[in-house]
Structure 1
Amino acid sequence: MTLHLGQHSSLPATPDEAVLDYVPNPRPGRDYLVRFVAPEFTSLCPVTGQPDFAHIVIDYVPGATIVESKSLKLFLGSFRNHAAFHEDCTVGIGVRLVAEMAPVWLRIGGYWYPRGGIPIDVFWQTGAAPVGVWVPDQGVPSYRGRG
């Protein structure tokens, strides 16, 4: 059962208030990769309160469920007014998805735009990808005026 799909849903005020919906995996017993890309992710610097921007890429191999995309968009959008370091945002997103969805495998890349002249890229995954699953490069180049 989903709470968001087909319903009017407001942006949650915080990531903790966001509810992620999960639906049954339509291809149980078959390993395949799902990729979500959020090129306009925003959060706030916990020190200055200024906005931080990132290109987030989430890859996962589903277990019994898949995350419903509208609820994921609302969850990611809830970081807009959330103050946290890049590392906390990136890894926290992955940890929450793993804890609730229990995928076979998950990796997340947070490609953060520079502040103070230094871009920060954060990567986390649950372990080695399953054998036989095609895991393409995340496609985000090293920073050279990322756009």
Structure 2
Amino acid sequence: MSQPLDEGPFFHGTKANLRDGDLLRAGFRSNYRPEVVMNHIYFTALPNGAGLAAELAAGDGAPRVYAVEPTGAFEHDPNVTDKKFPGNPTRSYRSSAPLRVLGEVADWTRQAPEALQAWKERLAALRADQRGQIIN
């Protein structure tokens, strides 16, 4: 019998205003490469990691973090685990199955403006560098 990848709880960061029970699905444009339609929905077991994703997400809404529940199988996110952080210390995952929203989480740490700007500059550099491909 194989061990689960992670027991959770799990979180997803976005600028969308969601309700309990909503399903988050793959098939939308990447926040990091808008020309790419994603085959997976991404989530993490770290609320602050989801918060960073929310702050970097496309859109004009307020960054939000939601507790989520995978509805199907999931795997380690190869965009961070295979390329940058072997062993998955970021506890980042992806699934082709939907995630069910369990509720909004208020207890996460916002990025300082300078740190957020540095992240945005890194993402812009990745967009300009074709080697920074998303494993979709």
Indicate the TM-score class for this superposition, using the shorter chain for normalisation: under 0.3
TM-score by length of 2: 0.25
Mark the structure with the bigger radius of gyration.
1
